Amino acid sequence: MLPVDTERFVTQQFAADRLMFVVNPGHEISAHSATRILALKNQPLVTFTKDFKLCRLIEDACRAQGFVPSIVGRSSHLDLVLAMVASGMGITVLPRSVIERTNVRHFVSVPIVKPAIHFELALVRPRESYVSHGCRAWLELAAGALGFQISDSFVSWTGVEPRL
C-alpha cells in the first residue's frame, strides 16, 4: 500500500480504492449519501490489527482532522470485523472493492468525503534491484489478471545484469 520511500523503492500502482463507512441499517450514518471522516469522532470503531496499513491510514486521517478514533475492537479477519459491526459494537471502514466482493447486503456503506480517503495498492521493489526474466513473466501475468499495464520505469534497471 502506498505511500513508500520513493528514494529507495520503485512502485507500480495497480489499484486505488475509495474508503467507505460500513454501518448497520438504522445507524445515524446510514441516512447519509456521503459523510466526512469527522463522523467517526464520536463513534466506536471496529478495525483491523495495527499491522494492517488500512488501520494506520484511517488513524492518520482522523488525526489530520484533530481527533483520535475510539477503537473498541480489532481483528485480522474481515469476517470477525463484520460480525462485531453486526452485533452493534461499532462501525468500520473498508475499501469499496472489499464491500463489493464481500457479502455485506445487511450493512449500509457510505462514502467518506471531504477529504475522500483512498486505499492505494502497488507493487514495490528496491530501486537498485535487478528484475529477472522470471519476475518479468510473473509481473505480466499479474498485470493481465488485475487489469493494469506494467510501466517501463518499474522494470527498467540501470545497473549491470548479474552474471549467471
- Domains (range + CATH), the chain: 9-120 (3.40.190.10), 130-164 (no CATH)
The beta strand positions in 2-154, using DSSP E, are 9-23, 35-36, 44-48, 70-75, 92-95, 108-113, 118-126
Report the alpha-carbon distance of residue 31 to residue 14 in Å, rounded.
33
The closest alpha carbon to 24, from 98, 110, 106, 84, belongs to: 106
Report the alpha-carbon distance of residue 14 to residue 142 in Å, rounded.
10
Q: Read off the pTM.
A: 0.78
pLDDT tens readout for residues 25-76? 999 999 999 999 999 999 999 999 999 989 999 999 999 999 999 999 999 9
